[in-house]
Amino acid sequence: MPRTYILNYLALLFLTALTTAVSFLDMGPFNTVAAIGIAGAKALLIAFFFMHLVDSPALVRVVAIGALIWFSILMSLTLGDYVTRGWLPIPGK
């Protein structure tokens, strides 16, 4: 419904302003968490309301979740290598 879209849009604009403003505060590692978190929230709003995931049949939601899971497999197992390098006191391992 147009009303939902406009409200969604305003929420997205608000989150954009929020993430921009927050980026100027020094929160250490939480800056990254906040930035990705807010981006994730925006993505969910776009997906649920503009892309109608909220009232789509299950199959479409499974496809969307599947894509996210597979992306996270790529990300986590790759980063897993880099994060654990140097944990053993053996050069090159």
Partner 1 sequence: MSAAAVHSPPNYLRAEQGIKSWLLTTDHKRIAWLYIAAITAFFFVGGFAAMLMRLELLTPQGDLVASDTYNKLFSMHGIIMVWFFLIPSIPTTLGNFLIPFMIGAKDLAFPKLNLASWYIFMLGGIVTLWAMLAGGVDTGWTFYTPFSSLYSTTNVIWAATGILISGFSSILTGLNFIVTVHTMRAPGMTWFRLPLFVWSHYTTSLILVLATPVLAITLALVAVERIFGVGFFDPKLGGDPVLFQHLFWFYSHPAVYIMILPGMGVVSELVATFSRRAVFGYTFVAFASVAIGVLGFLVWGHHMFVAGQSVYSALVFSVLSYAVAVPSAIKVFNWTATMFRGSVSWDTPMLYAIGFIGLFTGGGLTGLFLAALGVDVHVTETYFVVAHFHYIMVGGTVMAYLGGIHYWWPKMTGKMYPEGLARLSALIVFIGFNLTFFPQYLVGYWGMPRRYHVYPPEFQVLNVMSSAGASILGIGYLMPLFYLIWAAKYGRAATANPWPATGLEWKTPSPPSTHNFEETPIVLHDAYDFEALRPIIEEEHSHR
Partner 2 sequence: MSTSSPLALRFQFATEEQQRWVASVGMWVFLATEVMMFGGLFTTYAVYHMYYGHAFATGSNMMEISLGAINTAVLLTSSLTMALAVFASRVNSKMAIVFVIATMVFGALFLGIKFYEYYSHWEEGQVPGFNFRYSGPEAMHVELFFLFYFVMTGLHAVHMLVGMGLLTTLLVRLRIGTVGPGYDTPVDITGLYWHFVDIVWVFLFPLFYLVGRHMK
Binding site for partner 1 (CB under 8 A): 59, 66-67, 70, 73-74, 77-78, 80-82, 84-88, 90, 92-93
Among all chains, which residue has been given the structure tokens 């505060």? 25
Q: CB of 91: closest distance to partner 2 in angstroms?
A: 18
Q: CA–CA separation, 77 vs 16, rounded Å?
A: 30
79-82 long-range contacts (CB < 8 A, ≥24 apart) are none
Which DSSP state fits 55?
A: G
93 interacts with, out of partner 1, partner 2, none, CB within 5 to 8 A per kind? partner 1
Site for partner 2 in 42-61 (CB under 8 A): 42-43, 46-47, 49-51, 57, 59-60
2 interacts with, out of partner 2, partner 1, none, CB within 5 to 8 A per kind? partner 2
- Which residue among 18, 33, 55, 74 contacts partner 2 (CB under 8 A)? 74
Q: Are 50 and 5 in contact (CB under 8 A)?
A: yes
Q: Are 8 and 50 in contact (CB under 8 A)?
A: yes
Q: CB of 78: closest distance to partner 1 in angstroms?
A: 5
